[in-house]
Amino acid sequence: MNERSDPNPGDIEQIRDDIDRIDADILKLLAERKAHSLRIAKEKGIHDRPSRDQTREEGLISDRIASGMEHDLDSGLVNRVWREIVNDSVRIQQEFLDRAEGPNQAVTVAIQGIDGSYSQLAAQQYFDHKGTSVNYVRSPTFAAAISAVQRGEADVAVLPIENTTSGAISEVYDLLLESNLRFVGDVRFRIRHCLLGIEGASISELRRIYCHPQAVAQCSEFLAQLDRCEIVYFSDTALSGQKIRDLGDPTVAAIASEEAARIFGLDVLKTGIANRDENYTRFVVVAPEPAHVPEGIPTKTSIVMAVGNHPGALMDALGVFHDADINLVMLESRPIPNNPREELFYLDFDGNISDPSVVAVLDTLTRLVRFMRVLGSYPSRDLRPKPVERKGRRATPRGRSALTQLEASPSSPKGYRLGSRGHKEQNTVVEVAGVKLGGEDLVVIAGPCAVESWDQMMTAAKAVKESGGSILRGGCFKPRTSPYSFQGLGMEALEILVEAGKAYGLPVVTEVVSPEDVEGVARKADILQIGTRNMQNFSLLSAVGRAHRPVMLKRGMSSSLDELLQAAEYILSEGNQQVFLCERGIRTFETSTRNTLDLSAVPVLRQRTHLPVIVDPSHAAGDRDLVPPLALAAQAIGAHGIMVEIHPDPDTALSDGPQSLTLDQFREMMVGLGLSS
Ligand code: PEP
Ligand code: MN
């Protein structure tokens, strides 16, 4: 047996030197290996673009493990080290191929700000890395940069969305949600704020500093020391540099980038003035069309969702990612304008929308949340490469699970999926201001066909409340068959409807007839109605699909139930999961009633879809005396709700008087339904 003796300190130094030398050699060899990987990438680029060769990668790793064993090296260690090496070389090759995609391609980029602005510097960093040359559209506002892309004047916009010190840039989030542009990239840009002055300026003499509110927040500690200085808010960092150059006053300074100092010929009075040395802003690159990222490249996906406001709703939604072992990298919440009861959550996760397991996760999410939209999948340098998976680990080949899911869904051949029972077994419950549509209780929606006056609405709302109704209706924009009929009082009517609803604690529903009106109506009304004549107005359906209000979709008077479900799919696929359907009578040869109430629609729809189904006997019958018996039949057959038209004085009604119940008739009907005594 060898005698163990402690090495003396000199020996240890020597051994450490040897290890340093070996590590240096390893690094040199890794760099050499990287150069060879790049050469392979160039070859691949010339001979088309094959996807990664997993069989070869696995073979290589097995060889290295075998050789390592000859050197007495642990197979686990060799396995781990070479997987990292192989992943890195795949990443290097894919990045090269990305760059090579469009040699000397030029891209037009819209930014908010001028040259020297952080947006411009971030865009430059992003496209320099890709080897793409850039033309800039310099816009005065974020909204203008977004519309430059929408009008086709720019290919993409590069916009800041969050900063490590000052947090989310909410204006940009809100504009992006409205815009429908897709996220195709992101870049983390290191912000290096500098204090700039004209030649001869000195910090001790400064009396005024122009700066952007974000820069004020990020440099608050430095600014607090300059107690004799007035801070003047300025809308743009680089422009504040231009401003002080034009003023030519040595007592005035600006906070901007070093680049801005160079552009405007200013002196840098101090660098590193931010509260935190590590001050980064994340910019997103947005385009009209989504990006398609090949498998294997580290990919981030951004989505936006709204969850219900019951306890645990957010946790349930996030649990879906946890269960699928998907790494969340960012969660940001934003209030929904004019909708204080709900919040939107922006979420970034490590995953690619073209991966079937990600598709499955997002599918599960749509069953749980009120709203979910994918903003985009894009390569991200913030993420680590996905490890090379062991051969045979995945039981079924990629793509199979998504396919079997589709096959398992009996409704998919008919052109809808998200609305089908196959997608979601449990009934959707649409909740609005405490009223639950789709649950056990029958919900009654009532009110006049059209909002005509303040008094009419107040009287109707009082009757709805007192007789046990839950939701107040009233048409503001009336889609009339004849252009000479009363068309509704528009936005003025909406004010009256909302006030009447508030006075009696009733949420309100009103019809929206054009995509341009959706945003304005959604700001005030609790539920958006799509009428029978618009059931296949696809741009209108998409517009309400982007809104954050529940939608009542009425069946087209000549539409089949599958067509109704496909119309609902337009709404669901835009993100809005809060949809309920309304049977309101269809055209048949029978002329005794205005339309024929298709009561079998209720059980058929309940079989095919998880969405709540209600019945409107008023528009079906066209005759007020037929409404109560039809309402009872709808209740008996399992409708989740009933919508009826009522009027304080039906004979004077400006629309649909003959089918409107008197307030007394309504009260009696509610007693008959067991909702009032
Ligand atoms: C309505 O409910 O006001 C209406 C116009 O109904 P429909 O679209 O079913 O005709
Ligand atoms: Mn009507």
What pLDDT is stored for residue 99 in this prediction? 62
Domain 430-478+487-672 class in CATH: alpha beta
Residue 389 tokens read as: 């998976």
* Residues above pLDDT 90, as percent of the chain: 71
Which residue's C-alpha comes closest to atom 9 of ligand 1?
532
Find the 560 Cα to ligand 1 centroid distance in Å: 17
Most confident of 235-249, 371-385, 599-613: 599-613
> For a pocket test of ligand 1, which of 512, 532, 535 has the largest count of ligand atoms closer than 8 A to its C-beta?
532
Residue pLDDT, tens place only, 171-202: 898 899 888 899 999 999 999 999 999 998 99
Each residue of 198-223: pLDDT tens digit? 998 999 999 999 999 989 999 999 99
33-42, 290-299, 400-409, 493-502: which is most confident:
493-502
CA gap 621, 259 in Å, rounded: 72
Across 239-248, 578-587, 657-666, least confident range: 239-248
Q: What is the overall mean pLDDT for the chain? A: 89
Which ligand does the CA of 477 lie closest to?
A: 1
Q: What is the model's pLDDT at position 401? A: 41
pLDDT at 582: 98
CA distance 225 to 270: 13
Taking the centre of ligand 2 as the mean of its atom positions, its distance from the CA of residue 600, in whole angstroms, is 22
Residue 446 to residue 675: CA distance in whole angstroms: 13
Selecting among 142, 189, 283, 580, the annotated active-site residue is 283
Predicted pLDDT at 269: 95
Least confident piece of the model among 88-92, 154-158, 384-388 = 384-388
Q: What's the confidence (pLDDT) of residue 596?
A: 98
Q: Which of 189, 234, 281, 299 is catalytic?
A: 281
Residue 127 bears catalytic tag: no
SS3 labels along 310-338 = CCCHHHHHHHHHHHCCCCEEEEEEEEECC
Question: Is residue 334 classed exposed, middle or buried when 0-12, 13-18 and 19+ CB atoms within 10 A define those classes?
Answer: middle
- Sign for the pseudo-dihedral over CA of 607, 608, 614, 620: negative
Q: Could you tell me which residue, 659 or 408, shows the higher pLDDT?
A: 659
| Dist. CA 520 → ligand 1 center (Å) | 20
Return d(Cα 569, Cα 561) in angstroms, integer: 12
**Ligand 1 atom with the shortest distance to the CA of 582:** 9
Query: What ranges make up the beta strands (E) of 366-506?
Result: 371-379, 430-432, 435-437, 443-447, 471-473
Higher pLDDT, 30 or 380: 30
Atom of ligand 1 lying closest to residue 555 CA? 9
Which ligand gives the minimal distance to the CA of 620? 1
Q: Is the pLDDT at 391 greater than 50, yes or no? A: no
pLDDT of residue 246: 94
- Tell me: pLDDT of 6 over 70: no
CA 481 and chain centroid, separation: 37
Three-state secondary-structure class, residue 249:
coil
379-387 average pLDDT score = 66
Distance, CA of 252 to CA of 201 (rounded, Å): 8
Q: How far is the CA of 645 from the centre of ligand 1 (A)?
A: 10
Ion ligand 2: protein residues whose beta carbon lies under 5 Å: 449, 656
Ligand 1, atom 3: closest residue by C-alpha: 449
The arithmetic mean of pLDDT across residues 575-580, rounded, is 97
Asked if residues 304 and 375 have their Cβ atoms less than 8 Å apart, the reply is yes
Nearest CA to ligand 1 atom 4: 531
Ligand closest to Cα of 657 equals 2
For range 471-487, the mean pLDDT: 93
Residues lining ligand 1, Cβ inside 6 A: 449, 475, 511, 531-533, 554, 584, 619
Ligand 1, closest atom to CA 533?
A: 8
Q: Which residue has the higher pLDDT, 234 or 47?
A: 234
DSSP three-state, residue 194: strand
Asked if 428 is an active-site residue, the reply is no
Nearest-atom number in ligand 1 for the CA of 449 is: 3
Tell which atom from ligand 1 comes closest to the C-alpha of 478. Answer: 5
Pure H helices in 248-351: 258-264, 313-323
pLDDT tens-digit readout, 605-614? 999 999 999 9
User: pLDDT band at 385, cuts 50/70/90?
Assistant: low
Ligand 1, pocket-test mutation among 477, 529, 537, 643, most atoms within 8 A of CB: 529
| Structure-model confidence comparison of residues 129 and 651, the more confident one | 651
Cα of first residue to Cα of last residue in the chain, in angstroms, is 100
Determine the distance separating the centroid of ligand 2 and the alpha carbon of 662, expressed in angstroms: 14
> Which of the listed residues 480, 555, 586, 619 should we mutate to test ligand 1's pocket, taking the one with most ligand atoms within 8 A of CB?
619
* Closest by CA position to 196, among listed 269, 118, 274: 269
Q: Which ligand is nearest to the CA of 581?
A: 1
From 530, 616, 627, 659, the mutation candidate for ligand 1 (largest count of ligand atoms within 8 A of CB) is 616
pLDDT number for residue 104: 55
What pLDDT, on the 0 to 100 scale, is given for residue 308? 84
Residue-wise pLDDT tens digits, 578-637: 999 999 999 999 999 999 999 999 999 999 999 999 999 999 999 999 999 999 999 999
Q: Which ligand is nearest to the CA of 509?
A: 1
How large is the average pLDDT for residues 314-322?
94
Angle between the 454-466 and 663-672 helix axes, to the nearest 10 degrees?
20
Give the model's pLDDT for residue 236: 84
Measured distance CA(619)–CA(593) in Å, rounded: 9
Distance, in Å, from the CA atom of 548 to the CA atom of 551, rounded to the nearest integer, reads: 9
Distance 618 CA to ligand 1 centre (A): 9
Task: Please give the pLDDT value at position 135.
Answer: 94
Smallest-distance ligand from the CA of 559: 1
Cα gap 443→430, rounded to integer Å: 11
CB atoms within 10 A of CB 159: 27
What's the CA-to-centroid distance between 511 and ligand 1, angstroms? 8
Cα–ligand 2 centroid distance for 510 (angstroms): 11
What pTM, to 2 d.p., does this model score? 0.72
Domain ranges of the chain: 68-97, 192-273, 430-478+487-672
Residue 641 Cα to ligand 2 midpoint, Å, equals 17
Pairing of strands 208-211, 252-256: parallel
Burial of 224 (0-12, 13-18, 19+ CB in 10 A): exposed
Number of the ligand 1 atom closest to the C-alpha atom of 532 = 8
pLDDT band at residue 106 under the 50/70/90 scheme:
confident
Q: What is the mean pLDDT of residues 383-397?
A: 44
Band (572; pLDDT cuts 50, 70, 90): very high
CA distances from 58 to 35, 61, 376 (A): 21, 5, 31
pLDDT at 399 over 60: no
pLDDT at 395: 34
Q: In the predicted model, is pLDDT for residue 569 greater than 70? A: yes
Could you give the C-alpha distances from 161 to 172, 238, 351, 538, 579, in angstroms and in order? 6, 18, 20, 31, 31
Residue of 472, 489, 494, 584 to mutate, ligand 1, most atoms within 8 A of C-beta: 584
Q: Whose CA is nearest to atom 8 of ligand 1?
A: 531
User: Which whole-number Å values give the CA distances from 311 to 276, 314, 315, 344, 526, in the listed order?
Assistant: 36, 8, 9, 16, 22
Q: Whose CA is nearest to atom 5 of ligand 1?
A: 531
Q: Which CATH architecture has domain 192-273?
A: 3-Layer(aba) Sandwich (3.40)
Q: Quick one: which atom of ligand 1 is closest to the CA of 554?
A: 9
Where residue 593 falls (left for φ over 0; alpha for ψ -120 to 50; beta otherwise) is: beta
Q: What is the 620 CA–ligand 1 centroid distance (Å)?
A: 10
Q: State residue 42's pLDDT score.
A: 74
Task: Measure 531 CA to ligand 1 centroid, in angstroms.
Answer: 5
338, two tokens: 């004019």
- Residue 102 confidence (pLDDT) above 70: no
Give, using CA atoms, the residue closest to atom 10 of ligand 1: 532
